[in-house]
Structure formats: structure tokens, C-alpha cells
Amino acid sequence: MTGHRVSRRSFMKWSGVAGGSAALVATAAHLGMPSTHQASATDGIEGVDATVWNACLANCQSRCPLRLQVKDGTVVRVLPDNTGSDELGDLQIRACVRGLNQRERIYSPDRIKKPMKRTGKRGEGKWEEISWEEAFDTIASEMRRVKETYGNEALWYHYGSGSTGGNITKRGTWPRLINSYGGYLGQYGTYSTAQIRAGIPYSYGAYLGSNSLEDAVNTRLQVFFGNNPLETRMSGGGELGVVQKIKKEHGVRTIVIDPRYSDTAVDVADQWVPIRPGTDTALIAGMIYVMVQENLHDQEFLDEYCVGFDEETMPDGAPENASYRSYLEGKGPDGVEKTPEWAADITGIPADTIRNLARDIVTTKPCAITQGWGPQRQASGENTARAIALLATVTGNIGIAGGGNGARESNYSVPVTAFPNFDGDAAPVSTQISCFNWIEAIEDGPSMTDVQHGVRGKEKLDVGIKLMVINSSNTLINQHNDVHRTQKALEDDSKCEFILVIDHQWTPSCEWGDMVLPATTNFEENDIVPGGSCGDMGWSIWGGKAIEPLYETKTGYEICTEIARRLGIEQEFTQGRTQEEWRSWIFEETRANVPDFPSEEELEEMGVWRKHNPDGLTIGMKAFRDDPEANPLTTPSGKIEIYSSTLAEMADTWIFEGVTEGDKLTALPEHIDTWEGALEARTSEFPLQCLAHHYKGRTHSSYANLPKNLEAHPQMVWINEKDASDRGIKNGDTVDVYNNRGTIRTEARVTPRIAPGVVSVPQGAWYTPDEDGVDVGGNVNTIMKYHPSPLAKGNPGHTALVEVRPV
């Protein structure tokens, strides 16, 4: 089984599963509607045997506490946090529809019950049950064989985020096991943040976050570039709660720049600026052009803190007319003035709107400029990230209360000690590739180099990936661009010779393993949850074992201990500790660094422990702003580098063979017309730009198979009214969204809440091909192109052209 669609009839069959009412209450609360349910110490079902604290560990970064009520060994209800208040710094951490629906997840028919071994061709769907002993012996044997034949760099621990919020349960057992066995080919970056994390350091020397969202109490204007906390960070105690409360109590004026009229725009925006995907750099150039022409920019800040805005502040050796101001004025290589009219043609935003935005942003002080992770998830997303940071620089809002540096907001978190994985600088193998371009390391690893594929730690790989461990990850198939290309690479088991999948739900990725192991949920084992990192309130949560492991599932620690024993490294892996003893060790280490952190007994009793940022509200780069001489940045100049000499040198030395439009590095954060971007859409047979927005019913692909979540948030494609009318599509019609990579079949949501020429398919739906190869599950990666970004080699998940037709 690779997933399923849920009809009204099948949902009604599931209606006896508890937890739905709580999920609906959470939905009402997050929409600002009155709730009939108020959490208290006595709510829930009477006569339960125990109420156990744990958490939702999916990768939305909120980490919401949950109270699981257990009767006769069964979870009978899931309740939200009932502590805290409605005050900033102490907000109640209310879980959303995802976290409150854990009963369906625990007792899902998609639970993997026994170890399974492939019997047919990879991906064919033929399996047989095996014993745990056979599984342990086979895995140890394969690890030993691959290491002895190819070396440790042939081992790969796959990227994923299915249990990101845990500690011992944070996929942490497998990296520790493989590192104890000599290590594995490492990875850098994330599918979510590769381009911003790679791009911003060329401006600031390192990735430096912006001010916290709580600091917006000090601002006069918030500008969100694709920042959508009300859908992506839905915790009541996290960023959703902070943003709503600040808007309600302080009335902070807010502008949202986004191709979609997101829930954040609906709830808190005073102005929505619809923009074509991948064109933020052009908008920013057009706005800064106005600021400079009208002498509104902060020239004093640029002179003191920056290099590369004017010819006078260019670094030694830079070409003539290579400054950003020369770029704006058309004196650079392209010879084009970046007027509002130029920007309007690219972005779809009227020139007068661009002028008014520029004047509004530059004259309103302070102004808090932040970006979400959507704008940088593009073919040239590194430039997008740097350009938004440049807007904060040119307006002089960096390092001040109520301002921001243009990156994503900063958060305070409690520094809970992490389960040690022997990773980072301690990793036994230093070679790394981007987490996104692993598919090339399977197809032809030895061809991958540092200047073409971003290999780190050596000039080139010596061997490809031969053994993969896929733990708590649906990225093998579902969450990786171009499903069909990925399948083609994986079906040849002479390339990657052994694929092990560990999960508790039979995801689409399971079908492409050679062996699948049934894991527990985090509610069937013990942990301490590091907690949330949203706003200036951090928290940590007790991870209590609510029920015994179901079926034949085992914890990751137990699985890895058995394999370590067979590899002769049990002592190195366990250090003589059980999982519960490791949790006690984590408490001891944390309390040594955080003296007021509670004991195990205290945290188990209280469930969740809050701590507000002891330094007050977070102000990014404040020390640099206060004294740039005493607190220089780690850029080569020690200043903000609008022109990067390092990138200029890399642009001359990096290789882009088979280059397509947009595959290049630039010293300035300039606009680049990319492959399948806004410009190509004008002449393509696939004229609609396709986004893949995050969805309230799931976190990436986690929770995507749960009937109640699908009932509340069904899969669909957003399409503008004009585009729908031109194609004879009505709201609710079944449509195909397609290009030359594949076809997905889903429901049309005809709406003015998306820019013309743009469609958006919520990402994370489970890939479910029918007999004709049409993906009726609606997985957007069926139609997304695999094409790593030029600098980060990251995921360009918002760069794709498609067409839509009624079925």
C-alpha cells in the first residue's frame, strides 16, 4: 500500500476514533473563534488509568505538549497543554489539528507491524514477513560487506524530518550507530532552508537570524516576504500565537508579499502584495531604485557598516561598475536600469505599487523585514535570500529594536543537551554532499566534484552510495523532486545495493526499500523533548511512554543496540546505558548548564517547563550595530558584504556543465531569470508557475494518511479565477495538473487568493499512482524538476511550470 484517498464514506467508518472533537476545537481557536472546550486539570475522559505527557514531534518547529489519556493500555483521548496563560512569554502551547489527531496515527491501519523483506523487483510491491533475528543479521551483514568492499563513504544516512522534535527519538540512534562503525558520507543543508543558509553567510559572514517576532511590539511596520507562521507554525504558544496576539494588542501594521493570500495575510495583513514566484529580487531592486532616486535610503548606515553598495566602498580588485548602485542604474554588465517599470514587468506588481511600497518601507522606522523559507526555495533562491537581507540593510533597520536584518525571525530555545551522535566536527568521515543531491551520488558518485556538485571535505567522491538507511523519512520518494527520475535510479539495485527503511507508517518510500522495519511511535517509548523555539519563549517537554509498543514494533535504540552487538560495537554504541539511563544522563547534563531546569520527577509532574529569553527580546546583530569595530562580522571585510568577492571568485571557478538559464553565481544579489521561471512561462506550453505550499493538515508528509486530517484539509490545487475560466474549470472540478514529468489528479480550488499565472499544490500528499501512472494522491513532486540550486545545491521546490486541464 502506498497511500489512499479518503471518501466521505470511509471517513464515517472512522468516526468512532476519538480525538476529532479536540482537533476541531483547535481549528476554531486558531481562527479566533470562540471555543466550547477550555483545557483544565480535570478535562478528558473520566476513569482513565493515567494521563501521560508527551509531544507532537513533527517538523513544524513548534513542538506542542500533549496529554495522552490511557485506559486499559489504550490511548483513549489526546488533550492539549493546560498550563501557561495568555501572556506573551507564557502562552499556552495549544496543539493544532495535526498534533491532536495522534490516536489515528497510533492506531492507523498503515502501521508497519512486522519486519518485511522485498521478494520481487525493487518498487514492485512484493514482500514477505521475516523475523527480527533475520533482520538484525542481514543488516549487520550488509553494513559489514559494504564497508569492507567500498569503505565508509559508501554508507548513507538519509535526510528526513519525521521525528525532528525528539531527542533520543530524534532519529538519533542511527547516526550514532553508523558513526560508531566508522562513519558515513555526510550531508549539509536541509530541503527547507538550503538556499537561505548558504546565501546569507556571504552577506553577514554566517547565518544570522532576524529579530524575534515578539520584538514586533517595538515596530511600526512588519514586512513578511513569504513568511506564513499562521499555517506553518500553528502552535498557540508558538509563532501563530505570538503574531496574532501582537496584532490584536498592538495593531502592528503588516504587509505580506506572497503569491498566495495565505492565512497569515488573511488574519494579520493590512496589505497583500501578490508576486510572481522567483521574482522577489526584481521587486527589491525596483524598490531600492526608488529609494536611491529619491535619496530616501540610509546612506550613513551603508557607508559605516557595508561594502559594495557604491563604487566608493567596493573591495580591492573588484571590476569597475560592479557595485549594487551601478547595477540599479544600468551601468553594470546588463546595461538595464532597474526601474519600477522594469520590476513590474517581471513581478506582475504595478509600478506605482512598487513606488509606494518603497516609500512606505524606507520612511517607516523601525521596520521589521523578515522572510519565510518559501522565497528562497527557488532555482536562484540564494540571491533571493540575500536580496531581502539587502532591503533591510539599505533601509538601516539592522540591529535595532523593532527592526530586522531580513532573514527569518530568531527564536529562543531552552538549551537541552542533545543525545550524542558523534556528528559535526567529531564525525569520523568529513566528506559531505548536499542533502538534496544524493540521487547523483547513487547514479554516478565518482563523477561528483567540489566545484560542480558542491562536494565538501575533498575534491571528489571516490565511490557512490551503496547502502542507505531511511529512518523516519519519506524523502526517498515522496518528498524528493521528480518522483519518476528517483524511481528510475532506485530500481537498479546494482547501484545502491541495499536500502533499509525504518518507520511506523507504510509510506510511499517503504515500497522502494529492500527491508522495512516497524518502529514505535514516540508515545511507545521514553524521551525528553527539547521543546519549541518560537518567539522568545522556549520550553521543554516530558516524553513519557504512554503505552507498550504495538504489534512487533521496536524502539530505534533497541534496534540499533542489536545491530551494534552483531557488529561488535555494542559498548561503543550504548556506553552501558539503557534508553532510560540516557534520558537521566541528558537531564544531568542539561541541569549542569541550565541550573533552574527541573529534575526528572519535576518535569514528569509538570509536563512542560517554560523559560523566557533571559536577555529579553531578541534583536539580531545588535552587537554589530552598536560597535562594528569591537564586534565585526565574520565576512572577509568584517562588514556587511553587498558585493561578495568570495562569490565573484567562485563564479569564475565553479563549473555548470549542461547549464540552463539561471545556473550561475553572482557577486551581487541580483535578479536572475531562471529555468521554468516567470519569463519562460510566457512562451512555454506549460504557462503556469507552480508552488508547493505547506499545508495545515500535515507537516510535510507526516499525518498525510489520516482520514480526519484529510477530511478537514483535502488535497487540492489553488488556481486563480481568470486562469480557471480560460480553461473551463469550475470550483470543485477534478483536474489534471501536468507537465512533461508527470500528472497529478486533484480537486480545483478556484480562488482570488492566488496570483494570476500561478497555481499552488499543497506539498506532502502521498504519491499514489493509478494503473495509468496518474498520481491520484496529488503529490506535487510528481511534477517538480530535480535541478539543484547553483550555490547550495538545494531544493528548488517552488520552480516549476505546469498546465491544468479539467478531467
The whole-number average pLDDT for the span 367-380 is 97
Q: DSSP E strands: which ranges in 24-174?
A: 50-55, 65-71, 74-80, 116-118, 127-129, 155-157
Residues 58 and 113: their CA atoms lie apart, in Å, by 21
Cell of 268: 494579520
Least confident residue range of 14-23, 76-85, 120-129, 729-738: 14-23
pLDDT, greater one: 353 or 162: 353
Q: Which residues have C-beta within 8 Å of that of residue 29, sequence separation ≥ 6? A: 35, 94, 236
Q: Which residues have C-beta within 8 Å of that of residue 563, sequence separation ≥ 6? A: 136, 139, 140, 143, 177
Cell of 143: 553494513
**Cβ count within 10 A of residue 578:** 13
pLDDT value at position 35? 32
Which amino acid does the sequence have at 362?
Answer: V
How buried is residue 480: exposed, middle or buried, by Cβ count under 10 Å (0-12/13-18/19+)? buried
> In percent, how much of the chain has pLDDT > 70?
94
The whole-number average pLDDT for the span 530-558 is 92
Taken as a whole, the chain contains a residue count of 807
Inter-residue long-range contacts of 593-600, CB under 8 Å, 24+ positions, other chains counted:
593/415, 593/417, 594/414, 594/415, 594/416, 597/414, 597/416, 597/540
Q: Which residues have C-beta within 8 Å of that of residue 211, sequence separation ≥ 6? A: 368, 370, 401, 402, 403, 404, 405, 409, 410, 617, 618, 619, 620
Spatial contact of 463 and 433, defined as CB atoms under 8 Å apart: no
Residues 279 and 260: their CA atoms lie apart, in Å, by 14
pLDDT tens for each residue of 607-665: 999 999 999 999 999 999 999 999 999 999 999 999 999 999 999 999 997 777 889 99
Spatial contact of 412 and 212, defined as CB atoms under 8 Å apart: yes
**First-residue to last-residue Cα distance in the chain:** 25
pLDDT tens for each residue of 463-509: 999 999 999 999 999 999 999 999 999 999 999 999 999 999 999 99
Q: For residue 25, what pLDDT band results from cuts at 50, 70 and 90?
A: very low
Residues 429 and 691: their CA atoms lie apart, in Å, by 36
pLDDT value at position 533? 66
pLDDT, greater one: 435 or 44: 435
Cell of 408: 527569518
> In percent, how much of the chain has pLDDT > 90?
87
Quickly name the fold that domain 120-185+429-519 has: Rossmann fold (3.40.50)
pLDDT value at position 31? 30
pLDDT tens for each residue of 29-65: 333 323 333 334 446 677 999 999 999 998 887 889 9
Question: Within 19-124, where are the H helices?
Answer: 20-30, 102-106
The β-bridge partners of 186 are 432
Q: For residue 17, what pLDDT band results from cuts at 50, 70 and 90?
A: very low
pLDDT, greater one: 425 or 279: 279
Q: For residue 16, what pLDDT band results from cuts at 50, 70 and 90?
A: very low
Question: Does residue 799 sit in helix, strand or coil?
Answer: coil
pLDDT value at position 44? 66
pLDDT value at position 60? 85
**Cβ count within 10 A of residue 226:** 27
Residues 390 and 309: their CA atoms lie apart, in Å, by 10
Q: For residue 535, what pLDDT band results from cuts at 50, 70 and 90?
A: confident
Which amino acid does the sequence have at 173?
Answer: T
- DSSP-derived secondary structure letter, 512: G
pLDDT tens for each residue of 56-111: 998 887 889 999 999 999 999 999 999 999 988 889 999 999 999 999 999 999 99
pLDDT tens for each residue of 728-742: 999 999 999 999 999
Look up the pTM and report it. 0.93
How buried is residue 50: exposed, middle or buried, by Cβ count under 10 Å (0-12/13-18/19+)? exposed
Q: Which architecture characterizes domain 199-412+620-653 according to CATH?
A: 3-Layer(aba) Sandwich (3.40)
The whole-number average pLDDT for the span 100-126 is 97
The β-bridge partners of 640 are 306
pLDDT value at position 63? 87
Question: Within 449-498, where are the H helices?
Answer: 450-453, 483-491
**Cβ count within 10 A of residue 150:** 18
Domains of the chain by residue range = 120-185+429-519, 199-412+620-653, 680-806
The β-bridge partners of 611 are 538
Q: Which residues have C-beta within 8 Å of that of residue 801, sequence separation ≥ 6? A: 676, 680, 681, 684, 686, 687, 688, 689, 690, 739
The whole-number average pLDDT for the span 443-457 is 97
Spatial contact of 695 and 713, defined as CB atoms under 8 Å apart: yes
Cell of 578: 539503557
Q: Which residues of 363-375 are buried (b: 16+ CB within 10 A; e: fewer)?
A: ebbbbbbbbbbbb
Question: Does residue 646 sit in helix, strand or coil?
Answer: helix
pLDDT value at position 43? 64
Look over the chain and give the mean of its residue pLDDT values, rounded to a whole number.
92
Cell of 255: 504587509
Cell of 438: 544524493
Residues 526 and 662: their CA atoms lie apart, in Å, by 48
The whole-number average pLDDT for the span 157-168 is 89
pLDDT value at position 484? 97
Q: For residue 8, what pLDDT band results from cuts at 50, 70 and 90?
A: very low
Strands 221-225 and 801-806: unpaired
Nearest to 159 by CA among 381, 437, 450: 437
Q: Which residues have C-beta within 8 Å of that of residue 457, sequence separation ≥ 6? A: 186, 430, 431, 432
Backbone angles phi, psi at 352, to 5 degrees: -65, -35
pLDDT value at position 661? 80
Question: Within 665-741, where are the H helices?
Answer: 707-712, 721-726
pLDDT value at position 315? 96
Spatial contact of 327 and 668, defined as CB atoms under 8 Å apart: yes
The β-bridge partners of 759 are 690, 719
pLDDT value at position 24? 30
Residues 384 and 269: their CA atoms lie apart, in Å, by 22
Q: Which residues have C-beta within 8 Å of that of residue 481, sequence separation ≥ 6? A: 781, 784, 785, 786, 787, 795, 796, 797
pLDDT value at position 2? 36
Class of the CATH domain delimited by 680-806 = mainly beta
The whole-number average pLDDT for the span 703-731 is 97
Residues 380 and 386: their CA atoms lie apart, in Å, by 11
